[in-house]
Amino acid sequence: GAGVSQSPSNKVTEKGKDVELRCDPISGHTALYWYRQSLGQGLEFLIYFQGNSAPDKSGLPSDRFSAERTGGSVSTLTIQRTQQEDSAVYLCASSRDRSSYEQYFGPGTRLTVT
Amino acid sequence: DQQVKQNSPSLSVQEGRISILNCDYTNSMFDYFLWYKKYPAEGPTFLISISSIKDKNEDGRFTVFLNKSAKHLSLHIVPSQPGDSAVYFCAASGGGSNYKLTFGKGTLLTVNP
């Protein structure tokens, strides 16, 4: 498909388990972002990748969160030792490059930590 | 510290009338503003944007107005259609980290037939 894809669409996990969320950006887009939306909140920036540059991790809420982007394309967001407050919709977006403000979002992964 | 505020959590309008969604920001370094529309179980989709060098941008039924002195922008939809019913997010960028978007909490627009 032509859009940003994310998997899984839904994930239910027990507190303390690790989870991995995947994002496939639009082909050719060099910039990739992760956001999360908690209930009743706006989107919260987590991390940004641009090409081969070091990622901007300034939005990650704790060291339990990490992300990588392999080959400048697919990205994985990993949450270790999940907590109930991690429950949210995790959204991935991509843009053509750093100078493009318009970001295109995937459908998100709804994470529920029980 | 919420830098982008959408003070109306919801708005209801009649089909054919104008919808006006409002957004305020506090960071004077923001220089680019976007509106996104989100349907349930889908990611936000880009709707319209405006640079801080402009005060108005129009695209079909959608117009965004920017008042820099008041740090206020608004999205006008006219005429409103039932398919416009969605959550609308205001987002802002700039301030040296111009790749990050700072979002408001969203306004749920309901357009009644």
Q: Which of A35, A101, A105 comes nearest B93 by C-beta?
A: A101
For chain A, the first-to-last Cα distance in angstroms comes to 33
Tell me the percentage of chain A whose pLDDT exceeds 90: 75
Q: Quick one: pLDDT at residue B95?
A: 56
Give A-chain residues touching B46 at CB under 8 angstroms.
102-104
pLDDT in tens, B21-63: 999 999 998 999 999 999 988 999 999 999 999 999 999 999 9
CA dihedral B7, B10, B16, B18 (to 10 degrees): 0
Q: Quick one: pLDDT at residue A105?
A: 95
Mutate to test the interface with A, among B4, B50, B99 (most CBs of A within 10 A): B99
State the average pLDDT over residues A92-98: 88
Kindly tell me if the per-residue pLDDT of A14 is higher than 60.
Answer: yes
Mutate to test the interface with A, among B8, B100, B105 (most CBs of A within 10 A): B100
Q: Quick one: pLDDT at residue B97?
A: 55
Tell me the percentage of chain B whose pLDDT exceeds 90: 86
The pLDDT mean for chain B works out to: 93
Write out the E strands in chain A: 5-7, 10-13, 19-24, 31-37, 43-50, 65-69, 75-79, 88-95, 104-105, 109-113
For chain B, the first-to-last Cα distance in angstroms comes to 38
pLDDT in tens, A53-86: 888 899 999 999 999 998 878 999 999 999 999 9
pLDDT in tens, A18-43: 999 999 999 989 899 999 999 888 89
